[in-house]
Amino acid sequence: MNEIARILDQMDRAFGGEAWHGPALRKLLEGLSAEDASRHRIPGAHSVWELVNHIAAWNQIVSRRALGEKVDVTAEMDWPPVREISDAAWTQTQERLKESRRAQRSVVEQLSDNQLTRRVQGEQQTYSMYVMLHGLVQHDLYHAGQIAILKKAIPLEKKATA
């Protein structure tokens, strides 16, 4: 197995399943209503919905950078706001996440192992394509852990208000 195949495997496990650490990101989002996804359960912390928007945004940013584009990330690009809270909007957000992952995967599939040493311009430093792609997997898992904790708070919150 070449390194690109190993990176794709890690991306797939983190997003779609059979992750070593526990539930993959897609599994964590199952069964969440728009209302539950939009709630700010911890003061000063992001909602699940905001985290999903952020993850999708970074799939797109990393895809663009992998294709050689210099991307200057604005605050709104980094943390796209939730503009409407409805079941339809939540479904669209989840579809946007899936599409951003499909597109990201497609970009990575086109790379060769030789391209992994290519330097990529980040916000304040350059790093290798290898580091950026592994960083994307780490980023997704970090935020998946946050989502898992927020999701566990839902039953507790509902019991407290009942």
pLDDT digits (tens, 9 = 90+) for 44-57: 999 999 999 999 99
Position 153 scores a pLDDT of: 86
Q: Which residue has the tokens 């208000």?
A: 161
Domain 3-161 in CATH: superfamily? dinb family like domain (1.20.120.450)
User: Quick check: 11 and 104 in contact, CB under 8 A?
Assistant: yes
Give Cα 62 to chain centroid, integer Å. Answer: 11
What confidence tens digit (pLDDT) does each residue in 109-142 have? 999 999 999 999 877 788 999 999 999 999 999 9
Residue type, 21: H
Query: What's the mean pLDDT in 148-159?
Result: 76
